[in-house]
Amino acid sequence: MFNNSKFTKPTWLSISWLGLMLFLAVFGSLLPFKSWKFVYEDDLGVVPFSPGHILGTDNNGYDLLASLIAGTRMSIFIAVTAVSLGGLIGSALGITAAFVRGKVDTVMSTLFNVGLAVPNLVLALALVSVLATNVDINQSVPTWRRVMVLIVSLTIVLIPILGRIARGATLSWSGRDFVTAARSMGMRDRQIIMKHIVPNVLPALIAVAFLAVGVVIIAEASLSILGVGIPDGASWGGMIARGRNDLEYSPHVLYIPVIFLAITVISTNQIGEVLRSKLDSREAKV
Amino acid sequence: MAGSGTAHMRNTVDSVLTVRDLTVEFRVGNNKTVKAVSGLSLDVVKGETLAIVGESGCGKTTLVRAILQLPPPNSGEVIFDGTDLTLLPKENLRSARTSMQMIFQDPISSLNPRMTVHQLLDEPLEIWDRGTRAERDERINKLLFSVGLEPDLVLNRRSYEFSGGQCQRISIARALALDPRMLICDEPVSALDVSIQAQILNLLLFMKETHGLTMLFISHDLAVVKAISTRVMVMYLGKICEVAPPDVLYSNPAHHYTRALLNSVPIPDPTKQIRTELLQGEPPSPMNPPSGCRFRTRCVGASALCAEQEPQLREVSPGQFVACHHPIV
Amino acid sequence: MSSLMSIKNMSVNFDTPGGSLEAVRGVDIEIPAGMSVGVVGESGSGKTVMCRAAMGLLQGSTVNRTGTVIFDGHELTAMSKEQVRELFGSGMAMIFQDPLTALNPVRRIGAQLSEGLRIRLGMSKSDAMARSKELLELVRIPNAAAVLKSFPYQLSGGMRQRVMIAIAIACNPKLLFADEPTTALDVTVQAQILQLLRELREDLNMSMVLVTHDLGVVAGNTDYVAVMYAGEVVEYAPTKKLFADMRMPYTEALLDSIPRVDHKSGTRLSVIAGRLPDPTHRPAGCGFAPRCKYAQDKCTTDHPELKTDPDGHVYRCWFPIGEAL
Ligand SMILES: Nc1ncnc2c1ncn2[C@@H]1O[C@H](COP(=O)(O)OP(=O)(O)OP(=O)(O)O)[C@@H](O)[C@H]1O
Ligand code: SF4
Ligand code: SF4
Ligand SMILES: [Mg+2]
């Protein structure tokens, strides 16, 4: 679909980096490392490139490489799940709204606009607080539960963003004559959506989804820093939050996850932009 | 009764399509409506090509879309093959529509850019389960041949690889796939180059003869209409001005608007230039149409009566119907 | 008769990924002062490129223009971009097919119209506005004061084209290039715009190059016609002469293929089969040969030379109509 021209160097770097992150997320647990929770009692706050600890350890004796791999799994899992769910629900709502028009569309676009009017982080923060009401902050909450809450909140944040893109694209494609032609040859609405609308709307959505992954990774990190995300350094955000305490003596504990996060977000943005510009030039031809 | 009258209706058993008192409104802004088509009636008899002409915005496209129930009109009847489409349940409408196929103005936008020609032509056959894979493939090849395309060269290509004329051929093949009785063409050649126009017009005429089709042909180009139609209907702001056979209409227009329209057509012959007074200004907004005759604000023959009373269609010569208080004689 | 613009042996090539594309090929044309010259041809025949190249509007490293263009005593092809630009407005001006894309969508008509006057003629803001209003009245826009305050999208297609014409004639150009100015308009509005152009040409003593694909528009609005095919001017003659006595088989085929209101209904159209030749691979012989009913063997091998009849009628054909073999 997008194979008609060569990628530039930054794009290749982005693809490679994301490939590496994906690999760590999926196969990280199979790599021959001790659990990230293993405490190296004798190696507290070791600097990077030390023997046995290529990225060093923090002041509690956790190995940073092992932590990072575990954090990658969590951050990528949250981001991909939230974007997939948000994309699925958002595009279902957006496409339906644009295709049905009328009241459904008015209600839906109003909801989207309200969702978009509230800053992402504020909305996510509010959602996490609401969804986690029955969780006693002082009690130790199982991590899976916090992850669920986080994913649900981020999904809700993403629905209006992706939904609006889907709605806009659907509006422009469903106005084309081939949709009318399909109707006049007796196609059902559901078939028209699946065969004529979705395949045309999808590329635009995929491009935006890449950008959304970046947004979600940052949001997840911000929430963790604010203390409502994943505790104990189980994600990049969690590591950053914890690294703040070690800033004075072991700055690398903070910098390393920040660098990982930054490169990842830059990469998703780069790929999203490339896809989008490819799409624009192709659409201009169509 | 509101509307432009029904004197031109033939009410014969041969009518393939009969439209009665059709009105289509669009909401614009707060509680305002545009009557894009206003109490309009027409009938199309088997084997005939009824052309509808008029300036842009006069409601031509809206009219044919309402006939196809895309979307359904606000009021009126659309009787196709004896059934009123406006009363049909959705499921029956789906199958009724297949005998009425459409060709659009923009050849590129009428074909899904992601589908190959084979997929495009197979789609209607697949929806209605017409034959086995092999039978359908044979039919697709035949259709492509009949519109002058070489199946082997085009089957696996997509619409953006073709010129406008070729896309229009593919559209025609697709429209004929389900053996419709009626072909509705909305400006099918306006987007095409002069030398290609003739090819497509001839193809449409040929298809009409070989498939025994009845045609509804929309165009703003009076020369194209004259070449292809057997009956012409002139529209202005959602209403009918005049209905007549082409030779009568073009040589003796009875409505002032028809004459003005004809006088604006450039004739490719320097010795035949007509320079009468031109139609001034542009059509008024359909949101707020003039009282009485809608054309009166631009008409040279308008009188006080024209502002008070809406003219009804009446026959002024055999087969020529005009809605005007003071027709040209 | 003095010539206002003379184009000599002008060719335009574009470098494309598919090789060199010859859009215009050896064009020779004189545009007589005070006259209207029509340029007709199928889309892709090179009409727009020819006009833009003549005006020096084609820029960029992929464009190669050769030949000479002399306008009003200036040899445009020997001048710098800056010097040529000095001639825009008061020397040459241009109007387009789609006035909506030629106008800035977010600026009011008054601002766009007065801008040129202030820059070109150094008028004060209020003078420029007053003159803008006059110009809108000159192009017969009713309610000019209100239109000055409108945005382009608020105007109809015909009104937008009038605004474009007002902008074009603001500095009294000697030559107006009109590229399909009425193609996007309804026939009734087209007739109004063409009439306006005829009157303005008379009043302002302006020459015009009218690009169109419509032979009807040519017949009623031009003094000379250039017929273009595959990048070449294949026939050039006074309009009346051309329609009365066509020499070029292509022109004849084009005229026969168009539906006409002055013919009986149901008249079968004759068709020009096939398409224009690929501009990246121009054939050796006559570009029209595969579609021409008069073609002989020589046509496919030898490129026809430009011939001129004693009366100045120019054509490019080995076997012109009306010549015994
Ligand atoms: N969806 C819509 N909402 C509001 N007004 C509409 C809508 N569609 C059409 N109209 C209006 O209805 C009138 C008739 O439009 P229609 O498209 O039928 O004209 P047309 O004769 O087909 O024009 P053209 O030759 O430009 O296609 C116009 O005034 C138009 O602005
Ligand atoms: S009814 Fe009156 S205004 Fe209308 S066309 Fe006839 S003369 Fe003109
Ligand atoms: S040169 Fe030959 S092919 Fe070309 S136009 Fe003349 S007769 Fe036809
Ligand atoms: Mg239309």
pLDDT tens, position by position, B255-301: 999 999 998 899 999 888 766 777 887 888 888 889 999 999 999 88
pLDDT tens, position by position, A188-218: 888 889 888 998 898 889 989 998 999 899 8
CA A223 to each of CA A121, A156, C283: distance values in angstroms, whole numbers, following the listed order: 8, 15, 69
pLDDT band at B3 (very low <50, low <70, confident <90, very high): very low
What's the pLDDT at B1? 38
Cβ-defined contact of C188 to B55 (cutoff 8 Å): yes
Q: Are strands B49-53 and B214-219 parallel, antiparallel or unpaired?
A: parallel
pLDDT tens, position by position, C3-16: 899 999 999 998 87
Would you tell me how many other CB atoms lie within 10 Å of the CB of residue B230? 16
Nearest ligand to residue C286 Cα? 3
Atom of ligand 1 nearest to the CA of B34: 5
With an 8 Å Cβ cutoff, is B113 touching chain A?
yes
Regarding the beta carbon of C229 and ligand 3, being less than 6 Å apart is answered: no
Residue B259: inside a domain: no
pLDDT tens, position by position, B43-102: 999 999 999 999 888 889 899 999 999 888 999 999 998 899 999 998 889 888 889 999
CA closest to B298 among chain C residues: C188
Residue B313: inside a domain: no
Regarding the beta carbon of B59 and ligand 1, being less than 6 Å apart is answered: yes
pLDDT tens, position by position, B38-49: 899 999 999 999
The string of DSSP letters for C242-296 reads: HHHS---HHHHHHHHHS--TTS-TTPPPP---S-PPPTTS--SS-TTGGG-TT--
Atom of ligand 2 nearest to the CA of B306: 2
Cβ-defined contact of A181 to B174 (cutoff 8 Å): yes
What's the pLDDT at A82? 94
What's the pLDDT at B85? 93
Regarding the beta carbon of B60 and ligand 1, being less than 6 Å apart is answered: yes
Regarding the beta carbon of C88 and ligand 3, being less than 6 Å apart is answered: no
CA B58 to ligand 4 centroid distance, Å: 8
The chains found to touch C (3+ Cβ pairs under 8 angstroms) are B
In tens digits, chain C (325 residues) has pLDDT values of 688 999 999 999 988 777 888 899 999 999 999 999 999 998 888 999 999 899 888 877 788 899 999 999 999 999 888 888 888 888 898 888 877 777 877 788 998 888 878 877 888 889 999 999 999 999 989 889 999 999 888 888 888 999 989 988 988 899 999 999 988 888 888 998 999 999 999 999 999 999 998 999 999 999 999 999 999 999 999 999 999 999 999 999 999 998 888 888 877 788 888 778 887 888 889 999 999 999 999 999 999 999 999 888 999 999 999 875 5
What's the pLDDT at C226? 96
CA A175 to ligand 1 centroid distance, Å: 14
With an 8 Å Cβ cutoff, is A177 touching chain B?
yes
Burial code (b: 16+ CB inside 10 Å, e: under 16) for B119-145 equals: bbbbbbbebbeeeeeeebbebbbebbe
Query: From CA C231, how far away is CA C288, in angstroms rounded?
Result: 12
What's the pLDDT at C184? 81
Q: Are C222 and C305 in contact (CB under 8 A)?
A: no
A/B interface, count of CB pairs below 8 Å: 67
With an 8 Å Cβ cutoff, is A285 touching chain B?
yes
Tally of domains within chain B: 1
Helix axes A198-225, A252-285, angle to 10 degrees: 160
Would you tell me how many other CB atoms lie within 10 Å of the CB of residue A145? 11
Identify all chain B residues contacting C239, using CB atoms and an 8 Å cutoff.
Answer: 270
pLDDT tens, position by position, C291-310: 999 999 999 999 999 999 98
Which of B68, B108, B109 faces A184 most closely, judged by CB atoms? Answer: B68
SS3 C193: helix
What's the pLDDT at C324? 59
Regarding the beta carbon of B106 and ligand 1, being less than 6 Å apart is answered: no
Query: From CA C13, how far away is CA C210, in angstroms rounded?
Result: 23
Q: Which two tokens stand for residue B283?
A: 């059509």
Residue partners of A44: CB distance under 8 A and separation at least 6: A57, A58, A59, A60, A61
Edge-to-edge strand list for the sheet holding C92-95: C92-95, C175-179, C207-212, C36-40, C224-229, C232-238, C314-316, C306-308
Nearest ligand to residue B310 Cα? 2
In this structure, the residues whose C-beta lies within 6 A of any atom of ligand 2 are: B 255-256, 293, 295-296, 299, 301-302, 306, 311, 324-326
CA closest to C243 among chain B residues: B269
Percentage with pLDDT > 90 across chain C: 51
What's the pLDDT at A4? 45
Cβ-defined contact of A181 to B104 (cutoff 8 Å): yes
Residue B281: inside a domain: no
Nearest ligand to residue C229 Cα? 3
What's the pLDDT at A133? 59
Query: From CA B275, how far away is CA B263, in angstroms rounded?
Result: 8
Residue B214: inside a domain: yes
Residue nearest to atom 29 of ligand 1 (CA): B57
In tens digits, chain A (286 residues) has pLDDT values of 444 456 788 889 999 999 999 988 888 878 777 777 777 777 777 777 777 777 777 777 778 888 888 888 888 999 999 999 999 999 999 999 998 888 888 999 999 999 888 887 787 888 777 776 555 555 666 777 788 888 988 999 999 999 999 999 999 888 888 888 888 777 888 888 988 899 889 888 998 999 899 989 988 888 888 877 776 667 888 888 877 777 777 788 888 889 989 999 999 999 988 888 877 766 655 5
CATH code for position B25 = 3.40.50.300
CA closest to B56 among chain C residues: C186
Residue B82: inside a domain: yes
Identify all chain B residues contacting C264, using CB atoms and an 8 Å cutoff.
Answer: 247
Residue B224: inside a domain: yes
Residue B269: inside a domain: no
Residue partners of C122: CB distance under 8 A and separation at least 6: none
Q: Which domain holds residue B165?
A: 15-251
What's the pLDDT at A38? 76
Residue partners of C212: CB distance under 8 A and separation at least 6: C38, C39, C40, C180, C182, C183, C218
Average pLDDT of the residues in B298-322: 93
What's the pLDDT at A137? 54
All structural domains of chain A, each given as residue ranges with its CATH number in brackets, are 11-285 (1.10.3720.10)
Residue B53: inside a domain: yes
- ipTM confidence score: 0.85
Q: Is B328 left (phi over 0), alpha (psi -120 to 50) or beta?
A: beta
> What is the pTM (predicted TM-score) of this model?
0.81
